[in-house]
Each structure stands twice: as C-alpha cells, then as structure tokens.
Amino acid sequence: MKIAVCVSHVPDTATKVKIGQDGKSIDQNGVTYIINPYDEFAVEEALKTKEKIGGDTEVIVLSVGSEKSKETIRKALAMGADKGILLKNENEFESFGVAKALSTEIKNLGCDLVFCGKQSVDYDNTITGQLIAEMLGYSCITVVVKLDIDGNKIKAETEIEGGREVVESELPAVITTQKGLNEPRYASLKGIMAAKKKVIEEKPVKSSEKMIEVLKMNLPAPKQAGRIVGTDSSAVPELVKLLHEEAKVI
Ligand SMILES: Cc1cc2nc3c(=O)[nH]c(=O)nc-3n(C[C@H](O)[C@H](O)[C@H](O)COP(=O)(O)OP(=O)(O)OC[C@H]3O[C@@H](n4cnc5c(N)ncnc54)[C@H](O)[C@@H]3O)c2cc1C
C-alpha cells in the first residue's frame, strides 16, 4: 500500500510576526519555518501504520510550496518516511489550489490512505484534508485522536466538543490528525543522515484561479498592562466589581 502524508512548511509558532509593507502579507525577514506541528502527528501515524502493515508499504511525503518547503519534507524523511515530493509553486496560498495539487498527485501515485494535520498553523483554515477527500471521492475522518486500521476497515476516535466520537469507515480515506493521537518520534542521527540520501522529487504545479483576495492584515491589539487591585482578601469586592463593570467578564 502507498500512504501519502501532506505536510506544510509554516512559520515557527514562536516567531513574532510582522506585517509586510503592502499591509496584506507577512514580512518574511527573520521568520524561521518549521514543519506544521499537526503534520508531525500525521507523519508518525503513517509510519506506525506502515510498521503494522509491513510488506512493501511506502510512506510518501508531499508538500505544496517553494524550494524552502524541502526542509520540512526532509524532516519527515528523517523521521522515517520513504520518499518526498515537492509540488513546486511560489504563489499558491489558497487551500483549494493546495488541495487540488495534492489530490492530483495522490491520484497519480495511487495512495489509498492519506494523512493530513487537522490544521496548518499559518492560515488555520482547517479544510485542506476535507477538500482532498472530496476531490478524490475518499471518505474523510477529521480530528482523529485514536486510529486502528485492519485490512480495509478503519476504526477511529475523533475529538468533539466535550468528548469523543467512535467512527468506522473503509479505505480509501483521508485522516486528519489531532494532538494526542501519538507521540511523534525524534529523528535519530541515523535517520537524519539517511534523509540526506533520500529522493525529493520536484514537480511544478500551476496556480489555480484565485477565489479569495487578502485585503488587509492586522496585528492583534497589544495587551494592556495589568493592574494590582490589592494583595489580600480585602481586595476581592473591588476585584469583582472591576471584573464585572470594566472588564465585563463576569
Ligand atoms: C508566509 C507564507 C508563505 C507561504 N508561501 C507559500 C509558497 O511559497 N507556496 C505555496 O504553495 N504556499 C505557500 N504558503 C501557503 C501554505 O503553505 C499553506 O499551503 C496554506 O497556508 C494552507 O493553509 P490552510 O490554512 O488552508 O491549511 P489547513 O487546511 O489548515 O491545513 C490542513 C492540513 O492540510 C495539509 N496542508 C496544508 N497546506 C499544505 C501544503 N502547502 N502542502 C502540503 N500539505 C498541506 C497539512 O497536512 C495541514 O495540516 C505560504 C503561507 C504563508 C503563511
């Protein structure tokens, strides 16, 4: 079986984001990029599935992006994935175009199982996996925190508000991964060295027609300085009054 894992190359969550001069893009200066954290769960689950199934199962990592996305593909290869494909496009920022590029390649490869993170922590659209499933006609299980694949059958637990839902489905399928599904392995030194020799195929993809235009980006309002109302229990009535009348949180 061929397993596809979709990984996005995202700004490090510790980065202090600045808005570019055009007012509608991110200033790339000083931004470090990492593998999308939710995609590490996707890579780990693909590797665990391969270990369980055995045989000639292959884990193929795909990313839509620029040359720089190869760093993220390389990280997944160092964790143990077999092969990487960069679907090269410098201008594709919309989930629909990203999903179109990914689903076309996944179809060509003949992957029956596709892992995505539940969300890419740059644009946070939380939609690419679902779009891929729709485009391929695969079933889709989202926000998965427990997964068991036995032959063609899939049993999964997904996170819902205040609890979990147990669902069953069949391959071919797209699974989107949530924190708690597994503990992503660290790339060993041996894995890092091996990843340097693994192939990253490069395929140019055309940009799809833009459906959404970014008009403006705003940074969140700076946090106001805190105020100490008092240091003992006598401050409680005043604190409650302020929380009710000023902060309006109670
Ligand atoms: C500063 C910046 C620069 C960017 N530069 C480029 C660029 O040069 N070229 C380009 O094509 N895109 C670029 N992007 C877009 C980016 O890589 C994502 O594709 C896009 O943000 C999709 O986000 P989303 O919120 O729709 O994904 P979501 O729907 O939240 O993502 C869900 C899951 O889909 C998968 N996924 C999402 N995006 C990708 C991807 N690109 N490749 C593989 N799997 C993916 C992952 O598994 C992810 O966990 C850039 C984004 C930013 C913020």
Yes or no: say if 145 and 178 are a contact pair by the CB < 8 Å rule: yes
Is 2-204 a domain of CATH 3.40.50.1000? Answer: no
> pTM for the complete prediction?
0.89
pLDDT of residue 17: 84
38-89 pLDDT, tens digit per residue, is 999 999 999 999 999 988 999 999 999 999 999 999 999 999 999 999 999 9
User: How much distance in Å is there from the Cα of 95 to the middle of ligand 1?
Assistant: 7
- 3-class secondary structure per residue, the chain: CEEEEECCEEECCCCCCCECCCCCCECCCCCCEEECHHHHHHHHHHHHHHHHHCCCCEEEEEEEECHHHHHHHHHHHHHCCCEEEEEECCCCCCHHHHHHHHHHHHHHHCCCEEEEECCCCCCCCCCHHHHHHHHHCCEEEEEEEEEEEECCEEEEEEEECCEEEEEEEECCEEEEECCCCCCCCCCCHHHHHHHHHCCEEEEECCCCCCCCCCCCCCCCCCCCCCCCCCCCHHHHHHHHHHHHHCCCCC
User: How much distance in Å is there from the Cα of 241 to the middle of ligand 1?
Assistant: 45
pLDDT of residue 74: 97
pLDDT of residue 92: 72
User: How much distance in Å is there from the Cα of 92 to the middle of ligand 1?
Assistant: 8
Q: Residues enclosing ligand 1, CB less than 6 A?
A: 6-9, 26, 36, 38-39, 42, 62-66, 89-90, 92-93, 95, 98, 102, 116-117, 119-120, 122-129
pLDDT of residue 180: 95
Average pLDDT in the chain? 94
Mutating to test ligand 1, I would choose from 71, 120, 121 the residue with most ligand atoms within 8 A of its C-beta, which is 120
Quick one: what percent of the chain has pLDDT higher than 90? 80
User: How much distance in Å is there from the Cα of 126 to the middle of ligand 1?
Assistant: 10
Domain boundaries, the chain: 2-204
pLDDT of residue 225: 86
What is the C-alpha to C-alpha distance for residues 87 and 122, in angstroms, rounded to an integer?
18
> Is pLDDT at 93 greater than 80 in this prediction?
no
pLDDT of residue 121: 92
pLDDT of residue 79: 97
Mutating to test ligand 1, I would choose from 87, 128, 136 the residue with most ligand atoms within 8 A of its C-beta, which is 128
pLDDT of residue 208: 86
Residue located nearest, by CA, to atom 34 of ligand 1 = 128
What is the C-alpha to C-alpha distance for residues 31 and 13, in angstroms, rounded to an integer?
10
143-180 pLDDT, tens digit per residue, is 999 999 999 999 999 999 999 999 999 999 999 999 99
Quick one: what percent of the chain has pLDDT higher than 70? 100
> Is pLDDT at 109 greater than 90 in this prediction?
yes
User: How much distance in Å is there from the Cα of 229 to the middle of ligand 1?
Assistant: 45
Peptide bond preceding 184: is omega within 30 degrees of 0, i.e. cis?
no
pLDDT of residue 226: 87
Taking residue 232's Cβ as centre, other Cβ atoms within 10 Å add up to 6
202-232 pLDDT, tens digit per residue, is 999 988 888 888 999 998 888 888 889 999 9
> Is pLDDT at 238 greater than 80 in this prediction?
yes
pLDDT of residue 199: 86
Mutating to test ligand 1, I would choose from 38, 122, 181 the residue with most ligand atoms within 8 A of its C-beta, which is 122
